[in-house]
Structure 1
Amino acid sequence: MALHPRLALFDAHESAPVLPVCDHYCGVEARMRKSLQLQAELGPIFDVTLDCEDGAPVGGEAEHAQLVAEMASSALNLHGRVGARVHPVDHPSFDADVATLVKRAGSQLAYLMVPKIESFDQAQTAVAAIDRAMVEHGHKRLLPVHVLIETHGGLRDVQRIAAHPRIDSLSFGLMDFVSAHRGAIPQAGMSAQGQFEHPLVLRAKLEISAACHAYNKTPSHCVVTEFKKLDLLRDAAKKASRQLGYLRMWSIHPDQILPIVESFAPTVAETDQAIEILMAAQAADWAPISHHQTLHDRASFRYFWHVLERARQTGQALPAQVEEVFFADTPGAAA
């Protein structure tokens, strides 16, 4: 029996979790519940990140963290793809956020997002605190950690942060990054179009993406604040995916979720090509093949495997034979 592509094409150190392409943020209770209901309906084609940072009212941080923990540990978390954003490491509420979330929902949370990372040392401090809390509260698993790069220091240390074995994903924080330049980057640098044009913003995006790919981590693209202008969102999502190498993108409004998923998905033609090549390659025991008078070998097989994984992750319907051959041991991406 021919080897599965995960075994035939990749070494152990190259394995990485395949995360949904959309990360939807919400912090107000009504919106959190609506987002979880939408995820239950559509399936785990997007993550829901419940926000303890910007979502918490001043003075009500502890109560908000309790609410987030309750939701993450309830039946609303149907697919196990709910995470939470905590306060920054140097914020007085960070330790309390982590303790509350881990104690009540440590076995159900998909990840914790830590914002405003200033350095590799600060990233290490955050990871150590999360790991310590998991042990203290009797959880046997390692809780995945995502971090938000939105400061000069975080960008300076981005390679070391991406290399950290406990960090799965790096997100770019556009708004805080632009603000950190003291007006040197104009307001347009925060817009759907301008964020792809200003050199300092583009440099940050590329450095984060490159660092993630160097260490098999998931680069996650920033927000589009013009949430009602879906044409601008689609354009930004396609640029992030096709030009800058991002594998994931933030949503801040439910209307943005499906356009992001669709923009990050391969086309039907790309998926069909990947299926044809991978099926022929497996039949040849992963030796080089000719497909439409083009030579393909292990390098292109690896590429097409990523295309096929992404097609399934974004909810595309695949032929039954493909599901049986390649994904029989993998939970479905759609409900």
Structure 2
Amino acid sequence: MPDLTPAEVLFDGEPQPAVLPPCDHYAGSEKLIRKSLALQAQLGPVFDITLDCEDGAQFGHEAEHAELVASFVGGEDDRFGRVGVRIHDFDHRGWRDDVRIILRHAKKAPAFVMLPKIRSVADAAEMVAFIEASRREFGIERAIPCHLLVETHGALANAFELAALPGVESLSFGLMDFVSAHNGAIPDTAMRSPGQFDHPLVRRAKLEIAAACHAHGKVPSHNVSTEVRDMSVVADDAARARNEFGYTRMWSIHPEQIAPIVAAFSPRADEIALAADILLAAQRAHWGPTRHGDTLHDRASYRYYWSVLRRAHATGQTMPDECAPLFASSSRQDT
């Protein structure tokens, strides 16, 4: 019988925690959408593109913009199937129209749908249910994951319940609206670095969202960096989000931000090599305890090192050829 893979033995039959490309890049206008798709074709599926029906649409022309967005989803320039959409919020009259226009006209389903300004679990559940019912109505075979934007007091208070909703794949933090919702009680310095990592209320919000996601196997996505000139600031923001706050994904609002974000969330070559060595030894030991150097390992540490390799795969990192058996299909044929 073939050696069992980490996916088959380390999660006790439960689904593996979600892993997504580490950067979510937003584009609203036709010009920016085309540029983003060209960059994705060049760099590969190491970042997602979210086509924006909320901030990208002119008032009164929401339907026309949704049709424009739909024309790119699944089109010839959507080479990797990693193009999602952001629709209008629950209180906007056009959010249902956004969903129906995009699912009706797109050549294939979007990779995900971002739901902004979530205020309650009930609102989020209704939107997720409508998207599910619509995709069934239009004969779309696979379920469409939903991403929720947490930027209100109500959403933050219910972060764990939101992360637990079926059909939800990720929670994002909306820093600007969150700070504004405090009516001046949080200074504007908390909308940018380093203040966004230092103010206690903002730190609490970031940590609550990350904790909720990890508790339910969902992806925590960090807010944008407003810096568009000095990419070292963006790189530092991404590194702090990853290393101090437990985020595994981050928004981008400028093409130059994509590379430093992807780099910050990518495992280093030495981390990849160590993870491969430990997991290959574990596989040879049929996933019993092993020793690497002077350190003992068991299934708890194996799960950690498997997450390193999965992140390496999601960020397009080179992995040792010997890793192939670890990623072998879990679908086994009787022999």
| TM-score under structure 1 length normalisation | 0.96
Distance 2:280 2:3 in 1: 10
1:108 and 1:129, CA in 2 relative to 1: closer, same or farther beyond 3 A? closer
Shift of 1:329: 4.8
The code of the aligned residue for 1:127 comes to: V
Per the alignment, residue 235 of structure 1 pairs with 236
Cα deviations by residue, 1:249-281 (Å, 9 ceiling, x for unpaired): 001101000100000111111111101101111
Q: Secondary structure at the match of 1:168?
A: strand
Give a deviation string over 1:202-221, Cα, whole Å, max 9, x none. 10000000000110000000
* Counterparts of residues 230-269 of structure 1 (less than 5 Å): 230-269=231-270
Larger mean Cα displacement after TM superposition, 16-25 or 170-179: 16-25
- In 2: Cα distance, 1:215 partner to 1:240 partner: 19
Deviation at 1:103, TM superposition (A): 1.1
1:326 partner letter:
L
Output the CA distance in 2 between the equivalents of 1:3 and 1:106: 37
The yes-or-no answer on 1:115 pairing with 2:120 is no
Q: Report what 2:13 is aligned to.
A: 12
1:57 matches 2:70: no
For structure 1, the 5+ residue unaligned runs are 331-335
Calculate percent identity across the aligned residue pairs.
52
CA distance in structure 2 between the partners assigned to 1:16 and 1:304 by the alignment:
13
Q: 1:47 Cα deviation (Å)?
A: 0.4
Q: What SS does the aligned partner of 2:281 have?
A: helix
Specify the code of the residue in structure 2 equivalent to 1:130: I
Question: Is 2:167 the counterpart of 1:169?
Answer: no
User: For 1:212-227, what aligned pairs fall within 5 Å after superposition?
Assistant: 212-227=213-228
Q: Which residue identity does 2:284 align to in structure 1? A: A
Residue 327, structure 1, aligned to residue 327, structure 2: yes
User: What's the offset of the Cα at 1:106?
Assistant: 7.3
Question: How far off its partner does 1:128 sit?
Answer: 1.2
Relative distance call for 1:14 and 1:327 in structure 2 (3 A) is closer
Deviations 1:149-203 (A, max 9, x none): 0000111111111110110100000010001010111110001211000111110
Q: Could you tell me whether the CA contact under 8 Å between 1:16 and 1:217 is conserved in 2?
A: yes
| Structure 1 SS opposite 2:14 | helix
Rate the CA distance shift 1:106–1:242 in 2: closer, same or farther, 3 A. Answer: farther
Partner of 2:96: 95
Superposed CA RMSD in Å reads: 1.3
Partner of 2:156: 155
Decide whether aligned partners of structure 1 residues 216 and 106 sit closer, same or farther in structure 2, where only a CA change above 3 A counts: farther
User: What is the alpha-carbon distance in structure 2 between the residues aligned to residue 106 and residue 219 of structure 1?
Assistant: 29
Equivalent position SS for 2:205: helix
What are the within-5 Å matches in structure 2 for residues 256-295 of structure 1?
256-295=257-296
Match of 2:134 in 1: 133
Distance 1:43 1:302, change over 3 A: same
Cα 1:272/1:8, change in 2 over 3 Å = same
* Larger CA deviation: 109-118 vs 228-237: 228-237
Alignment-mate amino acid for residue 217 of structure 2: N
Return the letter of the residue paired with 2:325.
V
Q: Secondary structure at the match of 1:301?
A: helix
Structure-2 change in CA distance of 1:216 and 1:310 (3 Å)? same
The 5 Å alignment of 1:66-77 reads 66-77=67-78
Native 8 Å contact 2:75 2:107 kept in 1: no
TM-score between both structures, scaled by the size of structure 2: 0.96
Query: 1:177 corresponds to which letter in structure 2?
Result: F
Write the deviation string for residues 306-333 of structure 1: whole angstroms up to 9, x where unpaired.
Answer: 01111121111112221x2123559xxx
Q: Shift of the alpha carbon at 1:14?
A: 3.8
| Post-superposition CA distance 1:225-266 (Å, at most 9, x none) | 112221111111111101111010001101000100000111
Q: Does 1:23 align with 2:24?
A: yes
Paired residue secondary structure (2:275): helix
Q: Tell me: CA distance 1:109–1:27, structure 2 relative to 1, closer, same or farther (3 Å).
A: same
Structure 2 gap segments, 5+ residues each: 331-335
